[in-house]
């Protein structure tokens, strides 16, 4: 099977406009004859549901949370990029495109990324019109801040809660359509399978999380906007409920999974304190605008800090190593996330880490507080400082924050073409759920941009083309495929409920996380990955023998929900390791120790690996098959990324 990304021909800047013109349209009167299923109500899902309903389609929207407003986009902190050039600092659509391609270590499609940069400006307009209260300057104009991997200020923000404000904007647009009857909202409903008829997606199977009822829903198209799979690492900045189940079950129904090994480890998170920890908390990248990252120059000083014999403030200036400023003078503390993370790990590996575990470096605001005053710093980052204080019981106004990298975002996901369609016709993927436009590393403040771009400005055009092609004939809800898929889901759930072993699902999850972090985290090797693969296979076998799943199906059963999600994570974990093994190069967030420059930076192998890995599910316990989509670069020159 060959993968056609359907990137339009022609000059980069004209691809999207030409493509939009070439896409088929659905007659306004016919739109109401189409049913569209959208799973997930984060930025991508909610914006798509609202926009498609506005066009006239009948939308059925699903989320597992008790309200669409609780999707994890809500937790994004720092901001959203847009090439508005309001700051007159030389930004442009092309520069945003270029920064994103380069930031992604040249493993993203030119056409997609350019489109993303192009529509970024519309997103800001749309959100402001919805009443999203972005930060303003005294003159009433929008304010911007800087983010990693770029030298312009193009990030729009709402204090440290940009994701919340954008999501509530999309949620309000969704609410308006629910009110108008164009969207039917299903909360506390989890998608457990895709129904395909003749190879086309025609519906989904869901479980009502309040009653346990397994239901089927039919639609002309199924759009997945179900987020990323960072929780495969157990500990991540994702919400506890964030899961891969919808995407994974779609994968098992034929949708290819692309670049699963590309995970983003965010450099500034609150370090782990113990095994009890259920999640990690991010400290926004925006903090690196004013915070300076450092570690002690010597192991001796680090040891004293670890044993709490001295405090950070007692470390003299010449005993400190501001390693990002030293190594990358032009970007300084604002290097991309993968670079910052790797350097923090390096410090800890050298024994120069701080905190009781030695797995942390400092993010210091002393200089910023001196320069700007504590009040200004509080106005900019107050809620983040408070959050840090709540968790650590340490006051970041008085002592530097301790930070360490943590899993944050997954660049991989369901393979989609330029139209956001997976290889299964009628099945689409948007936002973090698809393998997206970020290549091997996502720049800060670009996830919100991509989610909203997909939902507001891409899918409303591209979906119409498919719908016009298949025609408005109603989907046959009595087709045996619906009942068959439903019965398979029931059987699978019963299998889970029959597990009455001696180890909790959470324990399996934690174990999986340890394996993934150890062998498929910030540094990966052939040997480690091979070992991990064996461990995961064994874990899977053990899970299906010894796990405990309490309760029944016909009730609220969080244990069953978690069990299904962890079972999928285990399978995904194995695929991630397989993908990481196959990609014998380093790029962005995927760092193979065997492939690095003399300075220890990620060394790509463009000759052999300038492609998207798209994996095909071949059956339970079968090795997946790799399909390659070659990446073609016509506009940017592939080079070793440098932020020096």
Q: Which strands form 221-224's sheet, in the order they lie side by side? A: 183-186, 58-62, 35-39, 221-224, 427-429
Tokens (6 digits) for 375:
């009040």
Q: How many residues does the chain have?
A: 644
The minimum distance between CB 23 and other proteins, in angstroms, equals 15
Q: Could you tell me the CA-to-CA distances from 558 to 123, 173, 244, 503 in Å, in that order? A: 36, 30, 16, 16
Pick out residues in 182-201 that bind other proteins (CB under 8 A).
185, 187
The minimum distance between CB 236 and other proteins, in angstroms, equals 11
Pick out residues in 464-523 that bind other proteins (CB under 8 A).
500, 502, 504-507
Pick out residues in 100-139 that bind other proteins (CB under 8 A).
122, 124-139
CB nearer to other proteins: pick between 46 and 581: 46
Q: Which stretch binds other proteins (CB under 8 A): 93-101, 213-221, 235-243, 343-351?
A: 235-243
Respond yes or no: is residue 337 known to be catalytic: yes
CB nearer to other proteins: pick between 180 and 541: 180
Best CA proximity match to 221, nearest among 481, 485, 489, 470? 470
Contact 102, 636 (CB under 8 A): yes
Per CB under 8 A, the list member of 26, 43, 59, 74 interacting with other proteins is 74
Per CB under 8 A, the list member of 362, 409, 457, 591 interacting with other proteins is 457
What's the start-to-end Cα distance of the chain, in Å?
A: 42
With binding defined as CB under 8 A, does residue 308 bind other proteins?
Answer: no
With binding defined as CB under 8 A, does residue 51 bind other proteins?
Answer: yes
Q: Could you tell me the CA-to-CA distances from 359 to 92, 295, 303, 394, 561 in Å, in that order? A: 39, 11, 12, 17, 33
Per CB under 8 A, the list member of 31, 60, 72, 540 interacting with other proteins is 72
CB nearer to other proteins: pick between 132 and 529: 132
- DSSP character at residue 23: S
Q: Which of 107, 109, 288, 337 is catalytic?
A: 337
With binding defined as CB under 8 A, does residue 84 bind other proteins?
Answer: yes
CB nearer to other proteins: pick between 562 and 627: 562
Residue 208, classified by CB atoms within 10 Å of its CB into exposed (0-12), middle (13-18) or buried (19+), is middle
d(CA 431, CA 106): 20
The minimum distance between CB 350 and other proteins, in angstroms, equals 27
With binding defined as CB under 8 A, does residue 327 bind other proteins?
Answer: no
Strand, coil or helix: what is 303? helix
As beta bridge partners, residue 363 has 293, 401
With binding defined as CB under 8 A, does residue 213 bind other proteins?
Answer: no
Q: Hunting for tokens 């016909």 — which residue is that? A: 554
Which H helix or E strand runs over 21?
helix 15-22
- CA atoms in the 13 A half-sphere facing the CB of 579: 32
With binding defined as CB under 8 A, does residue 28 bind other proteins?
Answer: no
CB nearer to other proteins: pick between 139 and 619: 139
Pick out residues in 534-593 that bind other proteins (CB under 8 A).
548, 550-551, 555-556, 558-559
Residues 6+ positions from 387 with CB-CB distance below 8 Å: 281, 283
With binding defined as CB under 8 A, does residue 225 bind other proteins?
Answer: no
Pick out residues in 240-299 that bind other proteins (CB under 8 A).
240-241, 273-279, 281-282
Per CB under 8 A, the list member of 18, 24, 210, 326 interacting with other proteins is 210
The catalytic residues are 337
């Amino acid at each position: 099977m060959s993968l056609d990304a359907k990137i339009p021909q022609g000059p980069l800047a004209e691809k999207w406009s030409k493509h939009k013109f070439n896409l088929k349209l659905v007659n306004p009167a016919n739109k109401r004859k189409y049913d569209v299923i959208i799973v997930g109500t984060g930025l991508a899902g909610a914006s798509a549901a609202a926009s498609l309903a506005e066009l006239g389609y009948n939308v059925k929207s699903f989320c597992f949370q008790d309200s669409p407003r609780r999707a994890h986009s809500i937790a994004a902190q720092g901001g959203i990029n847009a090439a508005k050039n309001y700051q007159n600092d030389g930004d442009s659509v092309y520069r945003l495109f270029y920064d994103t391609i380069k930031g992604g270590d040249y493993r993203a499609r030119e056409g997609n990324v350019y489109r993303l940069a192009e529509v970024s400006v519309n997103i800001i307009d749309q959100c402001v019109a919805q009443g999203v209260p972005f930060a303003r300057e005294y003159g009433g104009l929008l304010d911007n801040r800087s983010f990693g991997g770029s030298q312009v200020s193009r990030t729009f923000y709402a204090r440290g809660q940009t994701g919340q404000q954008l999501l509530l904007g999309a949620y309000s647009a969704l609410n308006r359509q629910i009110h108008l009857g164009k969207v039917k909202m299903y909360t506390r409903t989890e998608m457990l399978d895709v129904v395909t008829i003749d190879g086309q997606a025609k519906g989904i199977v869901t479980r009502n999380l309040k009653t346990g009822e397994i239901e089927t829903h039919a639609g002309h198209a199924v759009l997945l906007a179900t987020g990323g799979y960072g929780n495969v690492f157990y500990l991540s900045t994702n919400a506890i409920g964030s899961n891969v189940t919808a995407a994974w079950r779609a994968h098992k129904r034929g949708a290819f999974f692309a670049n699963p090994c590309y995970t983003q480890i965010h450099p500034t998170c609150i370090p782990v304190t113990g095994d009890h920890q259920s999640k990690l908390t991010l400290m926004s990248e925006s903090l690196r605008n004013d915070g300076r990252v450092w570690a002690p120059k010597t192991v001796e000083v680090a040891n004293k800090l670890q044993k709490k014999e001295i405090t950070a403030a007692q470390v003299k200036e010449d005993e400190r190593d501001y390693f990002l400023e030293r190594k990358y003078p032009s970007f300084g503390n604002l290097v991309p996330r993968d670079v910052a993370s790797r350097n923090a790990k390096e410090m800890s590996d050298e024994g120069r880490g701080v905190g009781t575990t030695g797995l942390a470096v400092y993010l210091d605001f002393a200089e910023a507080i001196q320069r700007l005053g504590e009040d200004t710093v509080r106005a900019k980052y107050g809620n983040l400082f408070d959050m840090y204080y709540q968790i650590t019981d340490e006051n970041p106004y008085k002592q530097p924050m301790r930070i360490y990298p943590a899993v944050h975002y997954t660049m991989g996901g369901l393979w989609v073409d330029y139209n956001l369609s997976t290889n299964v016709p009628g099945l689409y993927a948007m936002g973090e759920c698809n393998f997206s436009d970020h290549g091997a590393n996502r720049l800060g403040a670009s996830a919100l941009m991509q989610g909203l771009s997909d939902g507001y400005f891409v899918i409303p055009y591209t979906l119409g083309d498919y719908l016009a092609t298949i025609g408005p004939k109603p989907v046959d809800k009595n087709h045996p495929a619906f009942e068959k898929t439903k019965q398979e889901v029931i059987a699978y759930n019963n299998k889970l409920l029959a597990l009455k072993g001696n180890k909790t699902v959470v324990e399996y999850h934690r174990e999986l996380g340890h394996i993934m972090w150890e062998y498929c985290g910030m540094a990966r090797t052939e040997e480690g990955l091979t070992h991990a693969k064996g461990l995961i296979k064994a874990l899977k076998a053990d899970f299906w023998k010894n796990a405990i799943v309490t309760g029944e199906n016909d009730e609220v059963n969080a244990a069953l929900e978690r069990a299904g999600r962890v079972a999928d994570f285990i399978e995904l974990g194995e695929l991630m390791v397989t993908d990481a093994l196959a990609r014998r190069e380093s790029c962005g967030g995927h760092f193979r120790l065997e492939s690095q420059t003399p300075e220890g930076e990620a060394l790509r192998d463009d000759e052999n690996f300038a492609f998207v890995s798209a994996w095909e599910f071949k059956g339970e316990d079968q090795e997946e098959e790799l399909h390659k989509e070659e990446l073609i670069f016509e506009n940017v020159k592939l080079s070793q990324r440098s932020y020096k």
